[in-house]
Amino acid sequence: MLFDATFAPNGERIATGVGSGDVLVWSSAGELQHRLVGHDKPVWQVCFDNVGARVASASFDGTARIWSAETG
């Protein structure tokens, strides 16, 4: 189940927060680039930093994480 989705500022990537607790980073062409695993409950919000290099995520498990959008 998808909870949130956001585009990188340059439009080259999309990050999605899903019910499994993962953050998925996609190319704008729809190819999965990274599966970021670390939350124990659904991710309800994701956002990129102002250059698109990092993704922040917030989960119903009460944690927030910052990930590299480029390397995972």
List pLDDT tens digits, range 9-53.
999 999 999 999 999 999 999 999 999 999 999 999 999 999 999
Say what the pLDDT of residue 62 is: 97
Q: Is the pLDDT of residue 68 over 90?
A: yes
Alpha-carbon torsion angle 13, 65, 17, 53, nearest 10: 0
pLDDT at 70: 87
Amino acid 72: pLDDT: 85
Beta-strand pair 13-18/2-7: antiparallel
pLDDT tier, 2 (very low <50, low <70, confident <90, very high otherwise): confident
Residue 1, pLDDT above cutoff 90: no
Evaluate whether 9 touches 22 at the Cβ level (below 8 Å).
Answer: no
